[in-house]
Structure formats: structure tokens, C-alpha cells
Amino acid sequence: MADAAASSSSPALLVTLVTVFLGLLTFVLLALRSRASKPESSPAHATSPTDFATQPAKKSTNPKQRSLAAKKAHPQRHHHLEINMLKGHTDAVTGIAFSSNGRGIASACADRVIRVFKLDDISAKSFKFLRLNLPSGSNCPTKITFGHGSSQLVIATEGMSGTGLCMYSSASSEAATAAKEQGKPAQPEMKWELKNVHDKKGLVSLVSSPATFGSGNGGVILASSSEGTDIKLWTADTGKCLGTVDTNQLKNTMATLSPNGRFLAAAAFTADVKIWEVVYGKDNQVKEVPKVMQLKGHKSAVTWLDFTWDSERIITASKDGSIRIWNINVRYHMDEDPKCIKVFKIPTLDSKGNPVLYDRLAVSPDNQILAVTYGTTLQWLRTETGEILDTAENAHDENITCLVWAPQPLPTESGKSLILATASSDKRVKLWCPPPL
């Protein structure tokens, strides 16, 4: 009887033990989940949500998190020679120019805004810039260059009424005082304006150079070249026309001045390049602009040219697939012709095996590197040999519209360096360092 009772109570005891065990296990799991869902806090350093705006974020010890943060702070660059990009343009950038010391770069944009960026450190995350809105109803700015120093900006505009030129400079003392009293920065003022300067023809180039050669007075002269055959010289200070030359070559491609203001050279429809000398009189004013030289040797039209920074050589690129270097430091007044001292083939071929056509080229201030563009591609060549040093394919999303070197090395995070600037219809201005030689 006792044995039967013991055997009948064993299953009941087992069920009770299992029930108790499961209850304890459930309690422990719920307690652990509740503890895990509560955020840890430090009573001594309680932080409200608003403090994140004023307190610096802690650096992550996770390498992946640090990498993501770095990419957000510095977006991935397209090419290893690309240093930075100037932001803020809302339409195609039509012109760029460096100031004489290289610490300022001005841009003309189809949004009718002129921007002058201050380049204290090329590697900076952002740049301060002066914004100059052109007057309501004005034509679109297409070219820009600096006049005397960094306080004068000469702007070319185009519209249905033709091409115009205007110069902005620092505000007068009265305007500056009035702006200061209102707590506003003083805006540059238009000092002179010229309308329809090339008989309703478009403008292909606008350049400036100080007249430092011979008896030149050191003032800045301008050269504007129309898409026709005329090229005009102006004073940057007053807008006075100093003279007009005619290439007589059906259509101009571009024109430029030598760095010392002595020579004017033009590339046009034909294979020859014509050179004029800006002659100054005893009163330090421009006396005449006679044609003094002609570069002959290319078999097809010259697409672009540039002077070396010592004003003694010219580099030309042609549709014949060649680049030529010319010595113009000759006694032309004794009928000595300029000499072609180097010829090399354009090193890049298109899909059909033909040399590409360089849209523009620019020689570095040390004369060692030749920057060239075609379409959206930027390329660096060794000046003396034509050897390709580096290439940035699709440097911009649309065609490159401008190419210019800073006249002096500028500070970067790794020290001073020569700087190249490019602009494009893609609304961007990019800054590049040169490849190693």
C-alpha cells in the first residue's frame, strides 16, 4: 500500500520541479532583457540632446568609423593630383583668373555672379569669398581678369547687344564709410564700362599683363580678341583704347600677351601665328603696335598658344598633331626670324588613332610643365620633351572652359606648391598640384 502511494506521487513531484525551474529561468531572462534595454548614464556627466551642438564629438576608436567620418569631411577626390574644389557656383563657370600674388582667384559664372575666393590654404575645407552680383539686366559674364593688383577686376559680358567690358574696384572712401555705419561690407564699385566693343562680335579671349618692359609705366594693359579678326588693347585703369590690330586670318581662335607686356600673339584660322610688339613712347604711354614676327612651320591651324614666363618663348599646339617651341628672343628689327627649337608629336591619340586636338594649354611658372586640355580631360606634359607626366580623364563632368596657373607657389598642407586651376560648364572650379618631374 505504501509502495503504491510512493509510486503515484513521483510524477507529480517531477512536474512541480520542472514548473519551478522554468519559472526561475523565465524570471532571469526577463531581468537580463530589462537591464540590457536601459542606457548607461553617468550622473556626474549627464548630457542633454542640445549639448551635441556645442560639444566636440568623441573620436571613434573603430578604424572603419574613422574612415567614414573622414570621407564625409573630405569627399573622395577624382584624381590624386586634385587638391580642392571651389564651391558655390550655380551655373557654368565661364572664366577664372588669379591675382598677381596668387592669393586670390576670381570666377565669372553664367549665374551673373562674380566670386573672388581668398586662398590662404589650398587644402582648407572651405574658402572665404567676395560675392559681386552684376546689375539687374546686365549681360552674362564670359571672361574675367585682374587689373592692377588684386583690387581691380575687368569683366567681359556678352548678350544680344554685343560684347561689353567693365572694371570694378574697391569702393570709394565715402561708400566704405557709409557701409561701415550700416554694419555692411563695402561692395566693389564699377569704375568704367564700355559697350559693344567689338561691333557685336563675340569675345574669344581677355587677358591682362603689366607693362614692365622697356619704358612701360608698369600699368596693366588688357587685350580683348573678338571671334572676328580684330584684337584691341586697353588700359585697365581707365578703359582707354590703346590700339587695334587685325589678324586678317578669317577668324580668331585666341590671343594673349607676354608676361612682361611687350608682345601680343594670336592664333587664328590659318597655320601661322602673328606677333605684335607693344611699343611705348618717352611718356611711358603706348605709341604703336606694329607686327614684328610671324611663326611659320605648322601645316594646319594653331588651336592654342602660350608664352613662357620669361617672355622669350612661345609654345603652340596645332591641328597637324604637333607641338612646337619657338625662340622669339631674336633681333627681329634686323630681319632675324624667330626659330623653332623643338617639335614633338601630340602624345595622345583618339579612338581612330589620330592625335587629339588640344583645346587650350598653359605653361607652369617654372616653365617645366605644360598643362593641356581636350574635352573633359586634363593632362600634364614635360615641356622640353612632350612626355606625358600624368592624365586626369574626366577631370570635369563637362568640357573644361578655363585653364590657368597661379603665378606663385601657394601654401598647402604639405608645403608650398605650384597650383593649377581649371573651370568647366559643370559648375565647378578645381585646384590641382603638379605631378613630380
Does the residue 69 lie in any domain? Answer: no
Does the residue 360 lie in any domain? Answer: yes
177 or 399, greater pLDDT: 399
* Confidence check: pLDDT of 64 > 80: no
Residue 55 dihedral angles phi and psi, to the nearest 5°: -100, 140
pLDDT for 51: 29
355 or 183, greater pLDDT: 355
Query: What is the CATH number for 428?
Result: 2.130.10.10
pLDDT for 177: 80
Percentage of the chain modeled with pLDDT above 70: 82
Q: Which contiguous run of DSSP H or E holds residue 397?
A: none
C-alpha dihedral, 207 to 213 to 214 to 218, nearest 10°? 70
3-state secondary structure of 273: strand
Please name which of 130, 131, 166, 162 lies closest in space to residue 145, comparing C-alpha atoms: 166
Highest mean pLDDT among 2-6, 158-162, 281-285: 158-162
* Confidence check: pLDDT of 341 > 70: yes
* Confidence check: pLDDT of 217 > 80: no
Over range 331-335, report the average pLDDT. 92
pLDDT for 300: 97
Average of per-residue pLDDT values in the chain? 85
Does the residue 44 lie in any domain? Answer: no
pLDDT for 413: 87
Q: Residue length, the chain?
A: 437
Q: Quickly tell me which residue has 607641338 as its cell.
A: 323
pLDDT for 23: 62
Quick: pLDDT tens for 242-295.
Answer: 999 999 999 999 999 999 999 999 999 999 999 999 998 877 778 999 999 999
Q: In what order do the strands lie in the sheet with 420-424?
A: 82-86, 429-432, 420-424, 400-405
Lowest average pLDDT, out of 22-26, 116-120, 152-156, 255-259, goes to 22-26
Does the residue 270 lie in any domain? Answer: yes
* Confidence check: pLDDT of 3 > 70: no
Does the residue 29 lie in any domain? Answer: no
Q: How many domains does the chain divide into?
A: 1
Q: Quickly tell me which residue has 592625335 as its cell.
A: 355
pLDDT for 283: 72
Dmax (CA) for the chain in angstroms is: 145
pLDDT for 384: 94
Does the residue 264 lie in any domain? Answer: yes
pLDDT for 171: 81
What is the spatial distance between Cα 145 and Cα 94, in angstroms, rounded to a whole number?
Answer: 12
Quick: pLDDT tens for 76-100.
Answer: 567 999 999 999 999 999 999 999 9
Is the pTM here over 0.85, yes or no?
Answer: no
Does the residue 409 lie in any domain? Answer: yes
50 or 140, greater pLDDT: 140
50 or 358, greater pLDDT: 358
**DSSP string of 309-365, one letter each residue:** TTSSEEEEEETTSEEEEEE--S-GGGTPPPEEEEEEE---B-TTSPBPPPSEEEE-T
At residue 22 the predicted structure's pLDDT band, cuts being 50, 70 and 90, is low
pLDDT for 352: 94
pLDDT for 66: 40
Does the residue 179 lie in any domain? Answer: yes
pLDDT for 88: 92
pLDDT for 104: 95
Domain containing residue 420: 78-432
